[in-house]
Structure 1
Amino acid sequence: MSRRDRTAGEVLVRRLFAEHGAALLAYATRLSAGDRVRAELIVRETLVRAWSASASLSGDRGAVRAHLFPIVRDVAAEQGVPQPQAGPMEMLTAVGTLPPEQREVLNQLYFQGRDVKEAAASLGLPAETVKSRSYEALRRLREALPAAEPTGVT
């Protein structure tokens, strides 16, 4: 690998971390039951894998984030982190129980890949309202979805 390629890779990883690091770390921390050190290792490995497949990282911010989250989940599973038992249908059902304003905030933040400031501007709301709606929606989803069961533990 040339020095130029290595430098371009470092720039890509730094950009990915700047744009998505907080969301990836939050997700990895939830998957690892609050183990911040393990979550940081998961995010680091995710970014390395993303860099090695950098051709798939073109597109808008939401598409890139949609590509990164499954990598986080796969890395966590490889490291022995138990995965949540809720499937796509359970998740859709749980999201469907949320009030429309909370669903729209989650859509803006997680599916459109916007940060709080961008989501607030798009929705015509104060950033604090976006934060509180997101917090409440995620709290409700945690309550509605089955907890991850440790697998293979005797």
Structure 2
Amino acid sequence: MLPRSDSPQVPDEPAAETNSDQLMRLLYQEHSGPLLMFVLRLTGGDRQRAEDVVQETLLRAWRNADRLGTSGQPSLRPWLVTVARRIVIDEHRSVMARPQEAYGEDLERFAEADATDQVLRRMTITAAFKTLSPAHREIILATYFKGRTLPEAAEELGLPIGTAKSRVYYGLRALRAALEAREVTES
């Protein structure tokens, strides 16, 4: 029988769509609570992740509603638990397959050590060392950089021990002043 053209046509919702909505509500009412408790244990108590897994599980059940009704199982819960467990396992494998993201991490601990600071220190000391008089440079070089004792340095340079002590004292003082002057100009 053809519809009359003078009456407005209001499309009815298909019966399958109404049944699938009812199926989804029924699945959620019956299985979401126990399924959430099960998945919470699998996710280590991460509630947000567990709720996402339950939602994905129920969505898969809804998509496969035509196959689930013919399986002859008295309850869908074993199937839902298996699907939820597999979703959690798949998520875990996917996280393990990707390298960890470093957002928010302290990037300094990933930096490799290099000799930049050491090179800069040496350059600063060398520049300050060049400002010393030749006599002060000579005694500081012998005692601090060559590792000689004061008597050994005095003997090597042919100086009396008192003169060597005096030159070390005033040489170090001049070196310190030169380094401090560089520090003030650099900052």
TM-score by length of 2: 0.39
Q: Which has the higher contact order (CA 8 A, sep 6+)?
A: 1
TM-score by length of 1: 0.46
- Which of these two proteins has the greater Rg computed from alpha carbons? 2
